[in-house]
Structure 1
Amino acid sequence: MMSRPVVLVFLLVILIITSQFEWKQQLANEIEASSIIPQKQQQISNREEVIKEKIILSQEKNIQRLNELVQSLQLQLLQCRGSNNTVNDTETFTASDNELGKQSILDD
Structure 2
Amino acid sequence: MSRPMLLVFLLLVLIITSQFEWKQQLVSDLDATPSISDKQQRISKREEAVKEKIILSQEKNIQRLNELVRSLREQLVQCRSNCTAETFGENVNELDRLHTVDD
Structure showing greater Rg? 1
**TM-score, normalized by length of structure 2?**
0.71
Distance 2:17 2:81 in 1: 95
2:45 to 39, 60, 64: 64
Determine what percentage of the aligned residue pairs are the same residue: 8
Aligned to 1:76: 57
Is 1:50 aligned to 2:50, yes or no?
no
The AA in structure 2 aligned to 1:62 is I
Distance 1:38 1:56 in 2: 27
Is 1:89 aligned to 2:89, yes or no?
no
Where do 5+ consecutive residues of structure 1 fail to align? 1-17, 104-108
Cα RMSD (Å) of the superposition? 1.7
Where do 5+ consecutive residues of structure 2 fail to align? 85-103
1:37 to 13, 18, 22: 18
Most deviating of 45-54 and 58-67? 45-54
Higher relative CO (Cα under 8 Å, sequence separation at least 6) belongs to 2
**TM-score, normalized by length of structure 1?**
0.68
